[in-house]
Structure 1
């Protein structure tokens, strides 16, 4: 398994806290803080696009 570098947790209003991570191969990861072993994996660009969509209000129900 690749070494994942996790960023600080992001917590929404009263919601679960999420962490984003990357590895040296350019993969991106997202997990609930404290449960990083159960992460989702995709390309870093796919996760960047998801974050841009959330910030644009297209998927704010995910937070």
Structure 2
């Protein structure tokens, strides 16, 4: 398993907290806080776009 460096969790009101992380190869990961062992992976750019859209309220249905 990759050595993932996780950022602080992002928590919306009344919903799960999500964390994003990266490994030494620059791959991006996202997971529900506390369940990092069950992460999804994609490019860092794709995950950053997803997180920005969630924070901007464009994907509230995902939360």
Query: How would you bin the TM-score normalised by the shorter chain?
Result: 0.7 to 0.9
Listed one character per residue, the Cα deviations across residues 20-43 of structure 1 (whole Å, up to 9, x for unaligned) are 111111111110111100000001
Normalising by structure 1, report the TM-score. Answer: 0.85
Structure 2 unpaired stretches of 5+: none
Q: Tell me the number of residue pairs that the alignment of Structure 1 and Structure 2 aligns.
A: 63
Question: Structure 1: which 4+ aligned runs deviate by more than 6 Å?
Answer: none
Root-mean-square deviation over aligned CA pairs? 1.3
Structure 1 unpaired stretches of 5+: none
